[in-house]
């Protein structure tokens, strides 16, 4: 998987949520920060995993690092 190609498949909101997930925020915390339901965050998390073909939190973090979305 080439990170720069795959990141283009994510919406701006999904990228925002991916960064927060990778920084260790929970769905509830992300929801409060963004003014959305934790269930909506969970839906975004599922969409991110599907689009990036990763299966867990470690995969999301690894991807975010490779794509230079987080430090």
The model's pLDDT over 49-67, given as tens digits with 9 standing for 90+, comes to 999 889 999 999 998 888 8
pLDDT band, residue 7 (cuts 50/70/90): confident
Q: Which runs of consecutive H residues, i.e. helices, occur in the chain?
A: 3-7, 12-22, 27-34, 38-52, 57-66
Residue 26: name the closest of 8, 39, 10, 7 by CA. Answer: 39
pLDDT digits (tens, 9 = 90+) for 19-53: 999 999 999 999 999 999 999 999 999 999 999 88
Structure tokens at 20: 């927060």
Report all structural domains of the chain as residue ranges with CATH numbers, in order of start. Answer: 3-66 (1.10.10.10)
What is the pTM for the complete model shown?
Answer: 0.84
To which residue do tokens 């995993």 refer? 49
Q: Taking residues 6-12, what's their average pLDDT?
A: 84
């Amino acid at each position: 998987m080439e990170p720069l190609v795959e990141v283009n498949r994510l919406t701006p909101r999904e990228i925002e949520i991916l960064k927060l997930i990778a920084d260790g925020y929970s769905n509830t915390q992300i929801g409060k920060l963004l003014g959305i339901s934790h269930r909506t965050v969970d839906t975004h998390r599922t969409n991110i995993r599907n689009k990036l073909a990763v299966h867990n939190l470690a995969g999301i973090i690894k991807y975010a690092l490779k794509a230079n979305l987080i430090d």
